[in-house]
Amino acid sequence: MPVLKETKHWYLPLDKYENFLKRWILEEHKEWKVNVLGQCKSWLLDQGLQPRAVSRDLEWGVPVPVEEAEGKVLYVWFDAPIGYISNTKELTPEWEKYWKDPEARLIHFIGKDNIVFHCIIFPVMLKAEGSYILPDNVPANEFLNLEGDKISTSRNWAVWLHEYLEDFKGMQDVLRYVLCANAPETKDNDFTWKDFMDRNNNELLAILGNLINRTLVLTHKYFNGVVPEISGINDYDKNTIANISALKSEVENNLENFRFREALKSAMDLARLGNKYLAETEPWKLINTNQERVRAIMNISLQITANLSVFFEPFLPATAHKIRKLLNIEPVSWNMAGNINLVNAGHIIEQPELLFTKIEEKDIEPQIQKLLSIKSADERRKVNLAPLKPNITFDDFSKLDIRTGKILDAQKVPKTDKLLKLLIDTGIDTRTVVSGIAEFYKQEEIIGKQVCILANLEPRKIKGIESKGMILLAENDKGEFCFIQPEKFFMNGSESLQF
């Protein structure tokens, strides 16, 4: 029987830091994401802060390291952020420069369900200690759904990475691209296989891959794979070159402010710029009449291609590596991005290869069907599961005396198909229980099994046999039964407790 009793806990006095948090978050960090600020305002303005217990009465966990706290453990979200610090200390003896140097930046990349812990509780802990820096930003994302439903690993409603890499070999950057393009930065978003296919075909293949392939093909066709020397440029060239530098600034600004979707779009805009440049300068129309002009066009196109290897490095590392390999160049630092001397005149590039391949509907159909099968099976389970019974009070539940017991003997009840007469050692006594499990268990299979028995059920006669109790079983959606039993052997008569 559960017993109500007084206990002692330790509290984090959040209320004493409410004014500090209002100033620090709502006035000094207005640049934080709207979804993050929204949750903080809800706690600070709508609810008001109260002291929060940071200890628990549990058998597992990190013990509270103070006197008079025997049997107490730390609340997990009080303990977990401290692990960030201890892990850094484990990593390097210079850990303090990451946590105490005013020039350091502490950034928490988290999901929306952990915003409060990283914006309110952990900062109060750091502020109270006094020597640690506070988070500079908490760019929390919202939730990413899958085909209109919440991702759930327990229901298998997920895209498993190892399966994806088998089904779409060499296409890891496609998934990276789609996930970043659909990142739920300020509101929930959805991953669909149709969008996956469309973004690959209409963006990666048709824009980025198309530009790089055309540039390399034309360079080999007109100049045998040698980077041509540029002798003069016109105003349109100058404007295009200026846009390269401007797009670099856009990518930088968006990355610095944790707008990764916009940063990715700005990177792809450089590929759009390159395609527009080639389409409007039309070197294929000039090659026989103005080779000098074609040299300038192809040199600038190759510089755009080299810049793309830098722009996409944070998003598509495998693709960036392939672009550098095609250009036959070493990795380029970010500081060099925006320049038009990343590949020198006279440099020899490799033969063109396709960076991306078209994804057909037949390629994604198995993925869609797999999810539909999972959903269908899930719905069948829901249909077949018995509905919840009406609520009962805690007092009603506490009347149940559930004990562990061992089946000593099992015999069929004459003239029945479903009933077994069980002899059960409850640790307190040896009693007979009549159970309707004969269709699912053979007598000899269950002798010696430990089970859970409702021991204080009023005795009743079944087929002339007095049955004293009821054993507990579970039934699945297929109508199959299994014993509810301890995960390891417990002494017969052990009482089931309610927590």
Q: In this predicted model, what pLDDT tens digit does every residue of 16-65 receive, in sequence order?
A: 999 999 999 999 999 999 999 999 999 999 888 999 999 999 888 999 99
Residue 297 token pair: 């066009």
Rg (alpha carbons) of the chain, rounded to whole number: 34
Q: Strand 144-146 to strand 149-150: parallel, antiparallel, or no bridges (unpaired)?
A: antiparallel
Q: φ, ψ for residue 58 (rounded to 5)?
A: -135, 160
pLDDT over 70 at 382, yes or no: no
Contacts of 460 (CB under 8 A, 6+ apart): 466, 467
Residue type, 40: C
Same structural domain for residues 220 and 103? Answer: no
Same structural domain for residues 186 and 327? Answer: yes
Q: In this predicted model, what pLDDT tens digit does every residue of 391-421 receive, in sequence order?
A: 887 777 777 888 888 898 888 888 887 888 8
Same structural domain for residues 209 and 326? Answer: yes
pLDDT of residue 478: 60
Same structural domain for residues 124 and 169? Answer: no
pLDDT over 70 at 381, yes or no: no
> Of residues 374 and 221, which shows the higher confidence score?
221
pLDDT over 60 at 498, yes or no: no
Q: How confident is the model at residue 440 (pLDDT cuts 50, 70, 90)?
A: confident
pLDDT of residue 497: 61
> Of residues 161 and 497, which shows the higher confidence score?
161
Is 139 a member of any domain? no
Give the chain's domain count: 3
Same structural domain for residues 88 and 192? Answer: no
Question: Residue 393, SS3?
Answer: coil
Least confident of 4-8, 108-112, 359-363, 486-490: 486-490
Q: How far apart are CA 262 and CA 77, in angstroms?
A: 32
Same structural domain for residues 116 and 186? Answer: no
Angle between helical axes of 291-311 and 317-327 (0-180°, round to 10): 150
pLDDT of residue 197: 98
CATH number of domain containing 418: 2.40.50.140
CATH number of domain containing 265: 1.10.730.10
Distances from the Cα of 364 to the Cα of 180, 199, 204, angstroms: 19, 13, 17
Q: Indicate the pTM of the whole model.
A: 0.76
Domain edge (last residue) among 296, 315, 336 = 336
Is 347 a member of any domain? no
Share of the chain above pLDDT 90, in %: 71
Is 207 a member of any domain? yes
Same structural domain for residues 238 and 288? Answer: yes
Average pLDDT score over residue span 101-118? 96
Q: In this predicted model, what pLDDT tens digit does every residue of 420-431 receive, in sequence order?
A: 888 898 888 888
Cα 57 to chain centroid distance, Å, stands at 30
Distances from the Cα of 413 to the Cα of 241, 269, 465, 473, angstroms: 91, 79, 9, 19
Same structural domain for residues 294 and 184? Answer: yes
Is 455 a member of any domain? yes
Residue 406 token pair: 């061992």
Residue type, 237: D
Q: In this predicted model, what pLDDT tens digit does every residue of 10-20 receive, in sequence order?
A: 999 999 999 99
Question: Residue 74, SS3?
Answer: strand
Q: In this predicted model, what pLDDT tens digit does every residue of 124-151 receive, in sequence order?
A: 999 999 999 999 999 999 999 999 999 9
Is 327 a member of any domain? yes
Enter the DSSP assignment of 131. Answer: S
Q: How far apart are CA 44 and CA 191, in angstroms?
A: 33
Domain that holds residue 449: 394-483
